[in-house]
Amino acid sequence: MEPAASPVVPPVPPAADDQAVRHHYPLALRKASFGAALKLFGQTLPYALARFGILLVVTVVTIVWGIATFGGAAWTGEKIHPVVGWGWMAVGCGVYGWAWHFIVRYALYLIKCGHVAVLTELVTRGQVGNGGEGMFTYGKRVVTERFAQTNVLFAMDLLVEGVVRAFNRTLDWVAHLLPIPGMQGLMKIVQAILYSASTYLDETIFSYILARNEGNPWQGGRDGLIYYCQNAKPILKTAIWVVILDKVLTVVLWAIMMLPALLVTQWIGGAAGGWAIVIAVLFAANARSAFLEPLFLIMVMTTFHVSVENQPINLEWDARLTSLSGKFKEIKDKAAGWVSAKPASGAT
């Protein structure tokens, strides 16, 4: 397939009234690096542990639900009537799907928002709140005070993802960023890099909105997307390392989790050994989600903040993204609607 033409990043013009630095916030982190990301992850480890605990509880509930739903469907289908069995399964799947979408997913999202709020404070000010406030207390306070904006970000997620993917499809220079000679033609790697950048950008934009104290989340989302386009190369370079680290650390994590399970399987065998492997797989998946993904998010987030520091916004990207994606136009329309319905306060 012939690659699409690459949009050459336009030069940043001198700052003007409509093309000025859209953000004025301090930055305690002077350099984005893996070491800096690892330090921030360590400072906010309690959030990762809380997420891991919730995921483990959800896993146990899922196992119990699976036994009750499928086992109950088989039993009622055999003892009563097949229609009853199918009905039992339909109700069980419906209840679980509803609980996951409206309760578990949203609860995990709120925890993530609290984590991002704490990380933003550490990146911009070097401490959480006034220095005497606990990170969970601070995260809960920010999410509560900005509850309407937090819900907007939950809705904005798919729009941001759509805009970023539409922009990323226009890039044909990403393969040349690969640090491994002779791999420029492997489009799967390129696609993984682009996917990694888009995966963590919605949380990064939320951090940007918090850092600049933006009262209009849709406006902050619009500006954040433009700044991403202006700084696509450094962010995608970070995404390369995210892909590499993801593969390496995931293999290590799975090895740590699977080794005891394999030993149990060899020692006990039978159904117990099979359950040991299933549990190990679930633990590995939960550990990756709770520990590795936040680390990768921090890497992308810190690269973004360092890259956009004191950088004038180039509104040529506004027109380009508007023509490229209808979702970007939708974000702009919602930003205008938010201003008329609820004037922004606190944005600088």
Tens of pLDDT, residue by residue over 303-333, are 999 999 989 998 899 999 999 888 999 999 9
If you average pLDDT over every residue of the chain, what do you get? 82
Instruction: Among 20-24, 135-139, 263-267, 330-334, name the one with the lowest average pLDDT.
Output: 263-267
* pLDDT computed for residue 186 by the predictor: 57
Higher pLDDT, 139 or 149: 139
H/E stretch holding 169 reads none
Q: In the structure encoding, which two tokens stand for residue 309, read together? A: 């520091």
The most confident of the ranges 119-128, 156-165, 239-248 is 119-128
Task: Tell me the C-alpha distance between 144 and 272, whole Å.
Answer: 45
pTM given for the model: 0.82
In single-letter form, the type of residue at position 135 comes to M
Residue 208 C-beta-side C-alpha neighbours within 13 Å: 32
Specify the 3-state DSSP secondary structure of 345: coil
Residue 2: pLDDT band by 50, 70, 90 thresholds? very low
Burial of 27 from C-beta contacts in 10 A (0-12 / 13-18 / 19+):
middle
Q: In the structure encoding, which two tokens stand for residue 17, read together? A: 């009234």
In the chain, what percentage of residues exceed pLDDT 70?
83
Burial of 190 from C-beta contacts in 10 A (0-12 / 13-18 / 19+):
buried
Per-residue pLDDT, averaged over 259-276, amounts to: 69
Residue 276: pLDDT band by 50, 70, 90 thresholds? confident
Task: Tell me the C-alpha distance between 174 and 194, whole Å.
Answer: 8
pLDDT at 144 over 80: yes
Helical H segments across 128-231, by residue range:
135-145, 147-168, 187-199, 201-211, 217-230
* pLDDT computed for residue 77 by the predictor: 86
Task: Tell me the C-alpha distance between 66 and 79, whole Å.
Answer: 19
Q: Which residue has the tokens 């740590």?
A: 256
Residue 270 contacts by C-beta under 8 Å, 6 or more apart in sequence?
none
* pLDDT computed for residue 117 by the predictor: 94
In the chain, what percentage of residues exceed pLDDT 90?
35
Task: Tell me the C-alpha distance between 22 and 317, whole Å.
Answer: 14
Q: How far is CA 307 from CA 33, 103, 312, in A?
A: 12, 36, 11
Helix, strand, coil content of the chain in percent (nearest 5)? 75, 0, 25
Contact 115, 44 (CB under 8 A): yes
Q: Please report how the helices 232-267 and 270-287 are oriented relative to each other, as an axis angle in degrees rounded to 10.
A: 160
Instruction: Among 8-17, 81-90, 216-225, name the one with the lowest average pLDDT.
Output: 8-17
Instruction: Among 161-175, 268-282, 283-297, name the one with the lowest average pLDDT.
Output: 268-282
Contact 226, 317 (CB under 8 A): yes
Neighbours of 13 (CB within 10 A): 11
* DSSP secondary structure string for all residues of 221-279: HHHHHHHHHHTHHHHHHHHHHHHHHHHHHHHHHHHHHHHHHHHHHHHT-HHHHHHHHHH
* pLDDT computed for residue 62 by the predictor: 86
Tens of pLDDT, residue by residue over 4-27, are 443 444 444 443 444 577 788 889
Tens of pLDDT, residue by residue over 150-197, are 888 877 888 888 888 888 777 765 555 555 555 555 566 777 777 777
Residue 272: pLDDT band by 50, 70, 90 thresholds? low
Task: Tell me the C-alpha distance between 68 and 255, whole Å.
Answer: 31
Check residue 9 and report its DSSP letter: P
pLDDT at 87 over 80: yes
pLDDT at 80 over 80: yes
